[in-house]
Amino acid sequence: MMTDLNWYFYSDTNAKAGELEELLLKKNHKLKSFQLLEDLFHKLERTPHSILFLKAYTTYNVYDLCQEISMKFPSVYLIILVPENMENTKKAMRVGASNLLTYSDATDEINDVILQAQDYMKQRASKGEGVTHLPKQNSRIMAVCGSKGGVGKTSLAVNLANAFIKSGKSVVILDANFQFGDVAMYLDLKPNRTIYEWVKEAVERGRYGIDNYVSHHSSGIALLPPPPRPEFFEIMTEEHVALAVAELRKRYDVILIDTPTSLSEIHLKSLDLADDLLLVTTSDLPVLRNTKLYVDMLDSLHFSEKVHVVLNKDSKHRAIEAKRLEGILQNPVFASIPDVGKQMTTAINEGLPLVLRNGRHSFSKRMLQISHLILPPPEEEEKKTKRFALSR
């Protein structure tokens, strides 16, 4: 129950929580403020499943303090409050923060952060604390697919993964681009074990535990990386993909499979295993032509029911009208994603998904909407039929 959540605020300058406290009160949450660190620690020892807003500027460095608290009390949901010039999302995640607010954030942003914390704690409570090794009953498997290179499949996979994390889901990406997969690069990870080592060291010896072969990003995204060299692709079979998904289902709420453009048995198996196919396309005519061929192939495989067309890099200057595009594909557009230009390249270069780099960007908000459209949060169940239409 929401009223059971503990909301704490700590500041090393005795600053008041101000607007934050008022906003929480409007939602019937009481915020308890601490001025002494030892009082706070004492409280956290007794109530480790709490949400803590951490503001420190003078006595402590807020990032160092956050790291100390997250190590001592790993169950605490930490939100760092910093002046605008100290905003560093990457660093915040490294030190164990779940979210970050700046002093000048608008009411909407603060409310968003409160709701995310609430969602996360609710999900965690419904799963039962400390039972992460119980098999997940209802994992949702999504394959991100498309018929042409560079349409934005991997960008969608990593950003959507983050959006699901923000709603409190546990998420793994299976990079099924076994020859030239680049999800690890998009997340700035350098895995030393992959699905290939899992097959060689475990599966071929009759063992299936996969946890040691999964890499972890500081945002919480897990990744099962592809083989370390393109030629190792030879030994990989569609059966391995099915086995890996079966193992990952025991641990994660959401399994996102990033597929390559080339068709292979592995690609087809990924489509077969998925509950949802996120078919990424742009409105460029050569891409549309291929997308249409791909849609026809999905029809012939009897997968049409689970297809969701995602129109990426959308802009006002789209070459073709929305209605015509939907006519050609004989599918509605499930969601459109704005063209964010160079910002995506910068995010990729930094190895930090745009959703994390800038949670307030319209792109990030769209990712959250798409994640809710696929897996509606409990209170939004009845609204799930609402579609994010194209701006016509």
Ligand X SMILES: Nc1ncnc2c1ncn2[C@@H]1O[C@H](COP(=O)(O)OP(=O)(O)OP(=O)(O)O)[C@@H](O)[C@H]1O
Spatial CB neighbours of 381, under 8 Å, sequence gap ≥ 6: none
Between strands 6-11 and 31-34, the pairing is: parallel
**151 binds ligand X, rule: CB under 6 A:** yes
Q: Is 312 in the site for ligand X (CB under 6 A)?
A: yes
Residue ranges in 164-183 that form contacts with ligand X under rule CB under 6 A: 177
Q: Which of 18, 228, 230, 341 binds ligand X (CB under 6 A)?
A: 341
Cβ proximity to Mg ion: between 153 and 308 the closer is 153
Q: 327 contacts which partner out of ligand X, Mg ion, none, CB within 5 to 8 A by kind? A: none
Report the distance separating Cα 367 and Cα 149, nearest Å. Answer: 21
Choose the binding region for Mg ion from 126-134, 149-157, 340-348, 361-369 (rule: CB under 5 A): 149-157
Between CA 80 and CA 367 the distance in angstroms is 23
Instruction: Output the six-digit token pair for 270.
Output: 């990924």
Q: Which stretch binds ligand X (CB under 6 A): 104-112, 222-230, 302-310, 332-340?
A: 332-340
Between CA 199 and CA 347 the distance in angstroms is 32
- Contact yes or no for 145/278 (Cβ under 8 A): yes
Check: CB of residue 158 under 8 Å from CB of residue 188. no
261 makes contact, choosing from ligand X, Mg ion, none, with CB < 5 to 8 Å by partner type, with: ligand X
**Which among 120, 77, 76 is positioned nearest to 98, based on CA atoms?**
77
Report how far residue 202's alpha carbon sits from residue 75's, in angstroms, rounded to the nearest whole number. Answer: 32
| 155 is a contact residue toward ligand X (CB under 6 A) | yes
Residue 2 is classified by DSSP as G
The entry of Mg ion, ligand X, none near residue 181 (CB within 5 to 8 angstroms by kind) is none
Residue 339 engages ligand X in binding (rule: CB under 6 A)? yes
Interaction between residue 230 and ligand X (CB under 6 A) = no
| Nearest distance, CB of residue 280 and ligand X, angstroms | 6
Query: Is 348 near ligand X (CB under 6 A)?
Result: yes
- Interface with Mg ion (CB under 5 A): 153-154
- Interface with ligand X (CB under 6 A): 146, 149-155, 177, 261, 312-313, 337, 339-341, 344-345, 348
